[in-house]
A and B are shown apart, each in its own frame.
Chain A
Amino acid sequence: MPPPSNLGDEARRIARVVTILAATLAVCVAVSVPLGYLYTAWQYETAEVENATRDSAMRLSRHIFGNARMWTFEVLRLGEILAAGRFGPWPVQQRMLHAPDDALILEVGAAIAWPAVRREADLRDGDVRVGRLIVVRSATHVLVQTATTAVASTLLGFAIFFSVRLLPLRLVRATFRRLEETLVALRARDLALADHKRTLEADIARRTDQLSTANADLERMLAELRTTKEAAEAASRAKSRFLAVMSHEIRTPMNAVLALAGTLLDDALTDEQRNVVGTIRDSGDSLMRIIDDILDYSKLDAGRMAFELAPFAPDTLTASLASILGAAASAKGLTLTTKLAPGLPAGLLGDAGRIRQVLLNLVSNAVKFTERGGVVVAVHDSGRSAIGGPERAIVEWSVSDTGIGIPPDAVAGLFGEFIQADTSITRRFGGSGLGLAISKRLVENMGGTIGVDSQPGQGTVFRVRLVLPLAERPASLATPRGDARRRFRAMLHDLGRPLHMLLAEDNATNQFVARQLLKGLDVRLDVVDNGREAVEAVAALIYDVVCMDMRMPEMDGLQATRLIRTGGGATAGVPIIALTANAFPEDVQACLDAGMNGFLSKPVRRDDLLAALCAAVAPPLSPDRPSVPSPAGEGVPDAVACDRVALDALAAEIGADGVAMLHAMFVAETRTRLVRLATPLDPDTCLREVHTLKGAADSVCASRLAALAGVAERRLKVGGTLHPADLRAFGAAFDAFLAAVAPAAAGTPFIAESCITAP
């Protein structure tokens, strides 16, 4: 900011400039106005005298016309005409001269001195010039008027000078005065601002210190929170690990209990003994289901539940529910029916096992809580959705019962953990109380919804809605019961010698269980107590398969597998099946990464063990090289007419009554089907009938009939035909099955010559 003295210099400079401008303007006005007036007035004067002179000359010429001889004597009249000239009030002299000698004819007025305007015009008689008129008019008045104008313009110039100079200067001075005042005020404000700034800086510094302190507190709290969170996560992981370990530890003895109970039931027992052992096995199964629930819940809670994505047939899945729980419903006098909506997709992509788990839970609950009436399982096709990708089907399963219903106030918390509508129910019906909570989490993890409508005393409807991608219909879903043993025997038959198997298991009970499971089968079993011995055994002997426990002293199963795989030689490729109570996905992955070929979760069931042995020792034929089917009987393994073991397992799951009802239905349907197959059928119908026969025989453990139907089906699929020998073999196997399961009901053998000889 400049000092005030500079403002004063500036004001004086502006005053000087304004004064010069005002003076210039005033002088211009004072000079230009009279000059302009003089010029304009002189021009006007000249024009006026010119016009008046011409007018007078014209009137004189008119008078002269026709009197050129005498007009010079009419002095008075000429004077009259001149007197009438329009020369205004100013002094004027008019002189008439005669042509051509310019003799003066008439002169009016005295001589006019300068300033004057002089003009002349010709006098004519027609076309002849007879003289001229000279007019001189005084222009003194013009100079007088110009002088007056000059005086006035000078006064105006003075007025302009003073107004243009004084007023702006006064304004400038006032402005500069205000500027100086403003400058003083600004300086005062600057000082105040500087003070304020210092205060603010001190305030900011204080606040910064406070913020730093607060920040440090926050960071400390954050660190504490992080520690707490890590501790919580560690606790969670510890809980999950605890659950897994507990599951493992519980499964191991339960494995022995269940397996040994199963083997006891295969032996000859008294009815009382059978009842006791059956109770032990059923209680063990219930305990295993509770443990499975806890394990599932633990996985879901830890977000470690893996869902597979594979094609499945929704109708088959739904029908399997009835086949599994139909016997239990029948045992309570209930009906269990399935309804498939028309247009249901043939195939869907999803985790059929988890869906079946949810539905089994709902249906078993319905059966459990229904005393009269029945249970209906329905599948609805609720449309298609193509939002954000390929077309998907909206499928809704509903499970309706006519049971006790659920009070309205209990519906909201029905899917919570350890919830049942009535705590007495747990005592009355048992169960972990986790079933619906697990179902809800499973459905939601698959992107679906689960809901319930219920009226106490009238029944309950559970609905599961899933949106699943469309897929081709899979060839088959479930491995029929009895199939594992049949395939195992077939595999042994193909092998042509006993199966040489090594079991690495440190637990003596489990070693005993394994021996019991394989009892009666043509298996030569060697047992070692740890991984190191397993490696040594594999190096010393040739085994068809190794079953390796994962947790063993000295060397665990994973390490042993890696040593075997890296040992080289012919034994490096021996199939190795993992045995473990750990059921988490990462455990499975660890086994596969170590080089194992299969995985069995404890407690090991016989069917699962046999199926795993079959898969490991004799992998299925490649689709590229299908075996050439042979006529009936050829290539058919020596299957039993009725697989007792499989039948017992089925009876354990659906009850003896269910098995009896299933057999009754199978017998009736098979009689009809065999008669139909004896009639001429088109290839498609024939194939469908044979396929259905095979499936039905598998379901009721009629292993020989199922095997014969399977051979015929493979032949039909590659364009073959159904021979009369096939029909005879079907009839013989069917009769043998009837004789095995119900000698009294067998009655008349089914084989009829009419059927056999039919074209």
Chain B
Amino acid sequence: MHTLRLLARLILLALLAFAAPGAPASASPGETPPAATATLRIGGTGTLQGLVRMLFVAFRLRHPDVTLDQPRSLGSSGGIGAMLAGALDIAASSRALTQAERQAGADAILLGTTPFVFVTSHPTARASLTDADIVAIFTRQRTVWPDGMPIRLILRPEQDSDTAYLLDHFPGLGPGLDAVRRQQTIPIALTDQDNLDQAELRPGSFAGTSLVTVLSEHRRLTVLPLDGIDPSLDAMEHGAYTLTRPVYFVRGHTMPPATGAFLAFVASPDGARVLRRAGVSPAAAPP
């Protein structure tokens, strides 16, 4: 009996070694080899929840002993706060650090930029929108799609970074949006995942989000063109699509080995390929 158990373990180890395709024999240059068994704690903005999982899956190909501990979305501020409190190793953020956060020891790493997009569950509504259309929809001056389908608007909390982004980029939206918010008839999605879940569920929905969230979470939503331009990385990189926003990883002064290895992978050409596939134009050109 004891002999049979020992034999089974040997066969399993052999299969695992054979099944790992292209498994690197060693870490990439510049990467600090992580501890034999380590847990990587990454959390923060819901915008990057899917991107973090895609990056870790690729990273784990080379560091199979590292496991990922990813709590549900805490928001950028919540993630940074948790990282500073030592509850996380890396905080994902969709905004830059505040002065207080930097003073607390936070260090932001720009991953790249991603288009800010508007999505709907109504495929036939794929019509080009203008800035005025956007303002009209958010202020409930326009309430139906061209085919007559009601536009079911979904808002984000007043303090959320998405709301701040919209107010920055669509001047004059503030008073109308406040008025709509006071009516309390429009649903407010607390997290990015809530936002896209409701957009998928409601027919004729309309919500603002980041392209990285839509692509990395494989959402079944239609991304609407703005002023006739589809929000792709190429259009953004060529300056045709102007609604963009940066995304960051935030780390502390002290960093466990696995964290360094992961950040090194993100900055590596493999990491850059993952970022582009997820809808993020990497900050550093791939090597």
A-to-B contact residues, CB < 8 Å: 63, 66-67, 69-70, 73-77, 79-81, 83-84
Contact = CB atoms under 8 A, between A and B. Distances in A.
B284 interface: no
B219 interface: no
Contacts of A74: 74-75, 78
Contacts, number: 48
A76 B71 contact: no
A75 B74 CA distance: 9
Q: Which 10 A-B pairs have the closest CB atoms?
A: A80-B157, A73-B82, A74-B78, A73-B78, A73-B81, A70-B71, A76-B159, A76-B77, A74-B74, A73-B74
23 contacts: A67-B71, A69-B71, A70-B43, A70-B71, A70-B72, A70-B74, A73-B78, A73-B79, A73-B82, A74-B74, A75-B78, A75-B81, A76-B75, A76-B77, A76-B78, A76-B157, A76-B159, A76-B160, A77-B78, A77-B190, A80-B157, A80-B158, A81-B190
A70 B75 contact: no
Contacts of B87: 69-70, 73
Interface string B25-45: 000000000000000000100
Interface residues of B, number: 19
Contacts of A69: 71, 87
A67 B191 CA distance: 14
Contacts of A70: 43, 71-72, 74, 78, 82, 87
Contacts of B159: 76, 79-80
Given A67-B71, A77-B78, 6 more contacts: A66-B72, A69-B87, A76-B160, A77-B75, A79-B159, A84-B188
Interface in B34-78: 43, 71-72, 74-75, 77-78
B100 to A, nearest CB: 13
A79 B158 CA distance: 10
Interface string B83-127: 001010000000000000000000000000000000000000000
Contacts of A83: 158
Interface in B126-173: 157-160
Contacts of B78: 70, 73-77
A700 B157 CA distance: 165
Contacts of B188: 80, 84
Interface of B: 43, 71-72, 74-75, 77-79, 81-82, 85, 87, 157-160, 188, 190-191
A67 B190 CA distance: 15
B271 to A, nearest CB: 25
A63 B157 CA distance: 14
A84 B187 CA distance: 12
A556 B207 CA distance: 167
A73 B85 CA distance: 9
B237 to A, nearest CB: 31
A77 B72 CA distance: 13
Contacts of B82: 70, 73
A66 B188 CA distance: 21
Nearest to B81: A73
A379 to B, nearest CB: 129
Nearest to B43: A70
A77 B157 contact: yes
B126 to A, nearest CB: 32
B196 to A, nearest CB: 17
B242 to A, nearest CB: 27
A55 to B, nearest CB: 14
Contacts of B75: 74, 76-77
Contacts of A81: 190
Contacts of B157: 76-77, 80
B39 to A, nearest CB: 13
A83 B188 CA distance: 12
A434 B87 CA distance: 165
A31 B194 CA distance: 55
Residue in B43, B71, B77, B78 with the greatest tally of chain A CB atoms within 10 Å: B78
Nearest to B72: A67
A95 B204 CA distance: 39
A70 B75 CA distance: 11
Nearest to A59: B190
A80 B191 CA distance: 11
A62 to B, nearest CB: 10
A190 B21 CA distance: 139
Contacts of B43: 70
Contact of A63 (B71, B81, B85, B190): B190
Contacts of B79: 73
Nearest to A69: B71
B190 A75 contact: no
B175 to A, nearest CB: 19
A351 B273 CA distance: 169
A69 B88 CA distance: 11
A572 B153 CA distance: 163
Contacts of A75: 77-78, 81
Nearest to B82: A73
Contacts of A66: 72
B181 to A, nearest CB: 10
Contacts of B160: 76, 80
Nearest to B71: A70
Point out which of A76, A79, A84 has the most chain B C-beta atoms below 10 A from its C-beta. Answer: A76
**Chain B CB within 10 A, most for which of A73, A77, A80:** A73
A101 to B, nearest CB: 15
B85 to A, nearest CB: 7
A81 B160 CA distance: 12
Contacts of B81: 73, 75
B148 to A, nearest CB: 32
Contacts of B71: 67, 69-70
A488 B72 CA distance: 173
A63 B77 CA distance: 16
Contacts of B191: 77
A507 B252 CA distance: 194
B40 to A, nearest CB: 15
A75 B82 CA distance: 11
B267 to A, nearest CB: 26
Nearest to A81: B190
Nearest to A74: B78
